[in-house]
Amino acid sequence: MFPSAENVYSGPDAAGFFGAYGGRFVPETVIPALEELTEAFEAALEDSEFTGELEDLRHDYIGRHTPMYRAKRLAEAVGLGAVYLKREDLCHTGAHKINNTIGQCLLAKRMGKKRVIAETGAGQHGVATATAATLMGLECAVFMGVEDIRRQSLNVYKMKLLGAEVIPVAEGTGTLADAVTAALRHWVERVDDTFYVLGSAVGPHPYPLMVREFQSVIGLEIIDQCGARGVDRLDAVVACVGGGSNAIGTFYPFVLGASVNGSGVLGRPLLVGAEAAGLGVDTDKTGASMTKGSPGVMHGFYSYLLQDDAGNPLEAYSISAGLDYPGVGPEHAHFKDEGLVRYEPVTDAEALAAFEQLTRTEGIIPAIESSHALALLPRLAAELGPDAVVVVTLSGRGDKDIDIVREAGLGVD
């Protein structure tokens, strides 16, 4: 069921390309900063003081290892043998985003930076950046589209409580893609004193690599936890993909050929990414860049992109503010082309149904982003059979989305 990939995968190359995708397509002004960042990141990973501090913060501050919970009632409801939820929703600040921001802010501090900026869609990355910046005594500004500020007012308030400046972005649709553009534009102006904490596995090299390294803790823990509890068979691993940070962290160790205790008993599970179809891939209200997009350059990297005939990036749409981004991380594009990971679109309606199902079977309220991944479970049950064992990365919790699901009419009789 999984294509044979005996060669150990490694990427990116020195220029930041994963196969054809990635690179560094940005104004010259920030190229030296990206070169400096690449060197600093590589040196930090070699430095036991840095990795030790990161490990301590992961354990004592983020709350890792996050549990891997066996959701029996959900498994029964979707018709699978076993469903395990990798509980990134139990991380401090409520999502996997903190894994990355703690890493990048620690790096910013190490590089002597006093100020960080970030962009945010749903607000989780903004809250996580504001949190990490506060912890490390860094000044913080977060760019956020005006539409997302409206949709995610609770997270906006949290960022302000944490002492961050929230900068509204009114250009375009006032959503995540516009916030990324505004943050990159600002970075070009303040590159001499500002560290850009990028929130997903996108952007110019070394960001996709760096985000993958900080998020791979998710997949590595899944493998350890399968070993520790005697899970000797894993048929599929599922995660949602917007930019793709929780998914790259989940998938990467498996793509590398990971196995439990080196025995290989887990084999290579099917890896499936759920991307946001919005109202459907046959409509123009979609965020499914891999299903409906084509290769192009945006925000400094080359990857699958929703674009018009003239090469202008299109507006993405999803009910989830974290997934309505017209591009996807370059390593995912490479995985798709190589057949290493399968990507499937999930509509708003399917995600809402999965949201409701997890809430009602397990008493866990998931983020709408994560609900896209949960929506693939019935499809996998039909494909893999009733005995199949599946792990889903529950990337975040749903508190931030309560107003959206309320507007959608869930839980209201």
Residues engaged in binding other proteins (CB under 8 A): 15, 23-33, 35, 171-172, 177, 181, 184-185, 188-192, 295-300, 305, 307-313
Q: Return the active site residues.
A: 97, 119, 395
Beta strands in 267-384 (DSSP E): 270-278, 294-298, 301-305, 342-347
- Cα gap 361→382, rounded to integer Å: 20
Please identify, using beta-carbon distances, which residue of 177 and 276 lies nearer to other proteins: 177
d(CA 374, CA 28): 42
Coil, strand or helix: which one is 69? strand
Residue 201: CA count within 13 A, CB half-sphere: 34
Query: Of 175 and 250, which CB lies nearer to other proteins in the complex structure?
Result: 175
Please report the beta strands in 225-341, taking only residues with DSSP state E, as ranges in sequence order: 236-241, 270-278, 294-298, 301-305
Rounded to a whole number of angstroms, the minimum distance from the CB of residue 321 to other proteins is 19
CA distance 287 to 275: 7
Query: Which residue do the tokens 């708003």 mark?
Result: 348
CA 85 → CA 69, 70, 115, 253, distances in Å? 5, 6, 36, 17
Nearest distance from C-beta of residue 148 to other proteins, angstroms:
17
Our CB check for other proteins shows the closer of 215 and 307 to be: 307
- Please, which residue, 35 or 399, has the CB nearer to other proteins? 35
Return the number of the residue (15 or 412) whose C-beta is nearest other proteins: 15
Q: Minimum Å distance from CB 279 to other proteins?
A: 21
Q: How far, rounded to the nearest angstrom, does the alpha carbon of residue 217 sit from its chain's CA centroid?
A: 13
Spatial CB neighbours of 273, under 8 Å, sequence gap ≥ 6: 238, 239, 240, 241, 244, 247, 251, 290, 332, 341, 342, 343, 344
CB of 22 to other proteins, least distance (A): 10
Closest separation in Å from C-beta 230 to other proteins:
49
Half-sphere exposure of 303 (CA within 13 A, CB side): 35
